[in-house]
Structure 1
Amino acid sequence: MKKRTKTNIILLICVILLVLIPFIFVKGEYGGSDDQGTEQIKKFDPHYKVWAQPIWTPPSGEIESLLFTVQGSLGTGVICYFIGVAHGKKKAQENSKNDGKQQVTGK
């Protein structure tokens, strides 16, 4: 097995462990930070009134989670696309430089 493949497998196992370990060992309820912030504000200022309301509220928590995941996935896709384009441009420039050097030296 190549060294790179072995390294990738080890990194994949580490990522899976980092994802699964909190679900196994951390007991409690998982909630959004926006809910926790609102609770703390109301705790310190009971007369607090919310000044912004959502335009649309999803029908369930599952739909809200789905939309959040889709939004994150699309954002990740866009970022990775531009990283890939930049990497491809750099590789093409390196290849064209190497081709020019080979033609000059006659190799």
Structure 2
Amino acid sequence: MKKRRNLLLILAVILLALLPLWVVQPVEDVEPFAGADGKAMEAVSAISPDYEPWFSPLWEPPSAEIESLLFAFQAALGGGFIGYYLGASITRVRMRRAWQQGKPCT
């Protein structure tokens, strides 16, 4: 029963990840999965054409591919950190309960 539920959850996550790729119909001259940075810059320049940024980036990646790679790497590190923390916390609680009950920690 638990394996079946896990399999259904995994399939649901995969479906939720892939469904937008099939559902979104491309529009001419519009990138469907573009980031919000470019749109925000357009909106700010439309509202206030004489706006000047407060600061400039220290380093800009040489291409969009490298920028995407760095973003994915950052997301993977964050996900790994959160997964490690949750796993360590659960293990700590289980070991504490086992120790309090006088059972060997496995």
TM range (shorter): 0.7 to 0.9
Q: Which residue of 1 aligns with 2:36?
A: 33
2:50 equivalent to 1:47:
yes
Larger Rg: 1
Q: Which has the higher contact order (CA 8 A, sep 6+)?
A: 2
Q: Normalising by structure 2, report the TM-score.
A: 0.85
Unmatched runs of 5 consecutive residues or more in structure 2:
none
- Greater share of helix: 1
Q: Normalising by structure 1, report the TM-score.
A: 0.85
2:103 equivalent to 1:88:
no
The root-mean-square deviation of aligned C-alpha atoms, in Å, is 1.3
Cα shift readout 1:20-57 (whole Å, capped 9, x = no counterpart): 11011112422111221111000111111122211111
- What fraction of aligned residue pairs are identical, expressed as a percent? 36
Unmatched runs of 5 consecutive residues or more in structure 1:
101-107
Q: Which residue of 1 aligns with 2:74?
A: 71
User: Which consecutive aligned stretches of 4+ in structure 1 deviate over 2 angstroms post-superposition?
Assistant: none
Within 2, Cα distance between the matches of 1:8 and 1:52?
47
Residue identity matched to 2:3: T
